[in-house]
Each structure stands twice: as C-alpha cells, then as structure tokens.
Amino acid sequence: MMRWPRLKPISRSAIGASVLIFSLCTSNLTSVTTAFTITNSPWKVSSSHPPSSRLRTIRTFVNGRPNFDPTARRTHVPLEAAAAGSDLIPARRARFAFELKTFFRVLIPAILSGTAAFLALPTLCFRVAKFVTLTTDPSKIGMLSEIVHSFISLVGLLYSIMMGQVFGFLYSQQEALYLALFDEVTEAKSLLEQVALVSQGRSMYLTCLSSIARYVREDLLGGTITGGNASRSDKSKISASPSVTPSVILSARPVDDPLESILYLTSVGIPGHIYDTVRSLRQARSRRLGAMQRKVPTIHILMMWIIGVTLILTFPTLIGVGGTSWATLPSTGFNIWTIEGILFGVATFLLVLAKMVLLELWRTKGGAYNVDSVLQVMVRGLECELDERMSEARHTLKKSKGQ
C-alpha cells in the first residue's frame, strides 16, 4: 500500500526568508515589513490601520451593511396590526351578528317543527290506524307494511340525491364568489395605485379617486351585500338593491360609469396599463355577478320541500299501519307513543334544519354563509387608503387655489 510522504510544518525562518526575497524583488522593503510581522502566530496579519477599523471593514464585507448587528433581535409586526383599519373587534362583532341571525333563522323553525311533530304524532298514528282498519283486510296488513317500507326507501333515496347535489352546487357557487371577490379587490387596489402614479398632483386626481370610491361603494359593496351594511358612510346613495338580480345590475349600466370616467381622464394616445387594469377589474366584476346569480330556481326548492314533507309523513304512516290493534284506543294514547313521538320530533327537527341551512346557502345576501362580513373586512384597507388620498388631494387643491 502506497503511503504519502508526511509534509513538515513550515518554520518561521522559512516564512521570514520568503518575505525578504519578495521584498527585495519588488524594491518595497519598508511597506512589506510593516505589512507582515512574524510573531507567535505563523500567519498573523497586521496593518497600518487600527484593529477597530479592520474589524469594522470585515463586518461590512460579511454582512453587507456597516450598521448590521447580528445579535440584535428583530421585532416582527403582526399582519393584523400592520393592516389598515386594524380595529378587528367591530368586524368580529359584525360577523357574530350575522352568525347569530343565521343561527336563529335556522334553529327556530327547526325547533318549532320538531315540537309540532312530537305533539301531533299520537293523533296522526291513531287516524292512520283507524283508516287502515276500516279499509284494509286484516290478512293483508302485513303486505301493506312491506309496501310502506319500500315507499319510504324510495322517497328517502330521491331526497338524499337532490339534497346532496344542491348542497354541492351551492357550496361551489360560494367558492367561486369568494375567488372573484379577492380578484376584484386586488384589481381595485392596483387601479388605485396606478391612478396615484399617473395623476397625483394634477387637478383630475381628486376626480379619479372619487370615481374609485363610488365604484367601491355603489358597485362592489352595494351590488354584493345588503344595503343596510354596505358602507361606513353615505349608505343612502347605494343604487343596487338586494332584490335586484346580478344580471339586471350587469345589463343596466349607469349614465356615468366610474370606470369609464377614469379611462376618459387618464387616456392619452394609446391605452396603457390603466386600461388593462380596468379590463381585468371588469372581468372580475363579471365573475362576481355570475357567481351571485341564482342558478337554482325557486320551484326546485319548493319541490324539495314537498319531497321532505312526504318523507316525514311516512313515519306516522308506518307506525299507524303497524299498530292497527291500537285503533280501538282513544286518541289520547299519548303515553303509548312517547318514544315514537320523540323519534319523530327529532327526525323532523333534523330534516327542517338541513332544509334551512340549504336556504341560507341559497340566499345571496345577509347571512353567515354569504360574503357580507368578509367583504367588509376585505375593503376596509381600500376605503381607508381612499379616504387618506382624497383628504390629501383636497388639501393640495386648496393650497394651489390659495396661491
């Protein structure tokens, strides 16, 4: 096995001889002797500069900036506190108000329906049992029970298919609405920045800012959420009513479109970046209105209610057919059917609860399943920036007029 020869360490005398030869060749013995000194360490560098200066130079080279302190702890500002309008407590209260209103809208009808079903079950079962006894041969009552079971299975299957499809469709519609709103708010902020770069300091700057504010107030907020919660100020000027469908909003253009006003004021020669931003903003607006358009007709919701009520009424029918021997009992046989009544009431409560949740998804405004509270939080920063820029533009305009 081949062994590599072991290298001897370089002695201090060899280093000194090398330095002397180099200095003689370059004829700069004085500068070299001050640059290199042989001390206890074999490769120690000394310079005419003081040590503190050399250390500062090394830190500057390593860290990229002279005042960098690697031991200093950086303070991170939370995103919620850094965002404009960081008063999150009113937003949470508004969100809680929407959720509470939706909770009562969903829960109260379900509780009332379940209680009514629990109280009405003895009478319904007694009427069904009495009717079966009077109209059916006693030897065929068992066959009738099998028919009722098959009917319940068929109605339940149809109801579950329709409910599942409508739930999935409405949830996908809400997802598309959220994505369109995020795109639209982002494009509106981009338009505000571009307008500020193009027209800041001009007389048209305040007009452009007013047009953007009117678009946010009347179109983005007024056409998406309910009129009562649409904006912080000037709520009476909202032109879009909650009863107006998005297709009507899209087709009925106002006389002075704020986006067209911005294009008219900022267009010089060939359309530039503002034209592209306005086009993207209108595309996001069309996606928002398309997602808000009701695609499930009212007759479909009515048919689902009919199927749900039919499914619920099969429960007392099955109990009445199976308990024809109780037909001779008086209609006050409440204690006999207490367990069945509880089950019937719970089943009715759950079915109505699911239907009311579906109706909340079907609603386009004014609920916890809608975008009302989320959109108010999304545009708060945009509204604050608009207010600040408009105040600054008014102040600048007054100063220019005063001069």
41 and 128 fall within a common domain:
no
Split at pLDDT 50, 70, 90, the class of 302 is very high
Q: Which of 43-57, 225-239, 351-365 has the highest mean pLDDT?
A: 351-365
Q: How far is Cα 101 from Cα 106, in angstroms, rounded to an integer?
A: 9
Q: Per the domain annotation, does 328 fall within a domain?
A: yes
Instruction: Lowest mean pLDDT of 37-46, 166-175, 263-272, 368-377, name the range.
Output: 37-46
The pLDDT assigned to 91 comes to 62
Q: Which of 20-24, 80-84, 392-396 has the highest mean pLDDT?
A: 392-396
Q: How far is Cα 115 from Cα 107, in angstroms, rounded to an integer?
A: 12
The pLDDT assigned to 81 comes to 44
Mean pLDDT of the chain: 72
Split at pLDDT 50, 70, 90, the class of 65 is very low
Q: Per the domain annotation, does 84 fall within a domain?
A: no
The pair of structure tokens assigned to 16 is 């000194």
Q: Identity (one letter) of the amino acid at 44?
A: K
Q: Per the domain annotation, does 73 fall within a domain?
A: no
Q: Which residue has the higher pLDDT, 272 or 63?
A: 272
Question: Looking at the predicted structure, is the pLDDT value of residue 40 above 50?
Answer: no
Q: Per the domain annotation, does 66 fall within a domain?
A: no
The pLDDT assigned to 70 comes to 40
Q: How far is Cα 173 from Cα 177, in angstroms, rounded to an integer?
A: 6
Question: Looking at the predicted structure, is the pLDDT value of residue 300 above 70?
Answer: yes
pLDDT digits (tens, 9 = 90+) for 97-151: 778 888 888 999 999 999 999 988 888 888 887 887 777 777 777 777 788 888 8
Q: Which residue has the higher pLDDT, 341 or 69?
A: 341
| Residue 403 exposed, middle or buried by CB count within 10 Å (0-12, 13-18, 19+) | exposed
> What residues have CB less than 8 Å from 150, skipping those under 6 apart?
none
Written as one string, the DSSP assignment of 144-168 is: HHHHHHHHHHHHHHHHHHHHHHHHH
19 and 102 fall within a common domain:
no
Q: Is 36 helix (H, G, I), strand (E, B) or coil?
A: strand
Q: Per the domain annotation, does 65 fall within a domain?
A: no
Nearest to 362 by CA among 171, 203, 205: 171
Q: Which domain holds residue 25?
A: 13-50
241 and 135 fall within a common domain:
yes
The number of domains in the chain is: 2
| Residue 49 exposed, middle or buried by CB count within 10 Å (0-12, 13-18, 19+) | exposed
The pLDDT assigned to 248 comes to 73
Question: What is the percent of the chain where pLDDT is above 90?
Answer: 13
> What residues have CB less than 8 Å from 218, skipping those under 6 apart?
237, 238, 239, 240, 258
200 and 144 fall within a common domain:
yes
102 and 195 fall within a common domain:
yes
The pLDDT assigned to 88 comes to 55
* Over residues 321-339, mean pLDDT: 56
152 and 30 fall within a common domain:
no
The pLDDT assigned to 318 comes to 81
* Over residues 263-280, mean pLDDT: 76
Instruction: Lowest mean pLDDT of 9-23, 45-59, 124-138, 340-354, name the range.
Output: 45-59
Q: How far is Cα 356 from Cα 353, in angstroms, rounded to an integer?
A: 5
249 and 331 fall within a common domain:
yes
Split at pLDDT 50, 70, 90, the class of 349 is very high
Calculate ∠ Cα 384-388-394, nearest 5°. Answer: 140
Question: What is the percent of the chain where pLDDT is above 70?
Answer: 65
Q: Which residue has the higher pLDDT, 359 or 324?
A: 359
Q: Which residue has the higher pLDDT, 193 or 66?
A: 193
The pair of structure tokens assigned to 168 is 């999935």
Q: Per the domain annotation, does 69 fall within a domain?
A: no
Q: Per the domain annotation, does 5 fall within a domain?
A: no
Which position has the token pair 């032109």?
Answer: 239
Q: Which residue has the higher pLDDT, 53 or 350?
A: 350
235 and 340 fall within a common domain:
yes
The pLDDT assigned to 89 comes to 60
Q: How far is Cα 294 from Cα 170, in angstroms, rounded to an integer?
A: 9
User: Alpha helices of 233-379 — where are they, by DSSP H?
Assistant: 246-251, 258-266, 273-292, 298-322, 338-362, 372-378
Nearest to 126 by CA among 370, 357, 325, 281: 325
The pLDDT assigned to 60 comes to 39
Q: How far is Cα 207 from Cα 23, in angstroms, rounded to an integer?
A: 76
Q: How far is Cα 33 from Cα 23, in angstroms, rounded to an integer?
A: 8
Q: Are 293 and 176 a contacting pair, CB within 8 Å?
A: no
Region at 244 (left for phi over 0; alpha for psi -120 to 50; beta for the rest): beta
46 and 111 fall within a common domain:
no
Question: Looking at the predicted structure, is the pLDDT value of residue 240 above 70?
Answer: no
Split at pLDDT 50, 70, 90, the class of 271 is low
* Over residues 249-258, mean pLDDT: 70
202 and 317 fall within a common domain:
yes
The pLDDT assigned to 19 comes to 46
Q: Are 212 and 191 a contacting pair, CB within 8 Å?
A: yes
Split at pLDDT 50, 70, 90, the class of 251 is confident
18 and 93 fall within a common domain:
no
341 and 223 fall within a common domain:
yes
Q: Per the domain annotation, does 131 fall within a domain?
A: yes
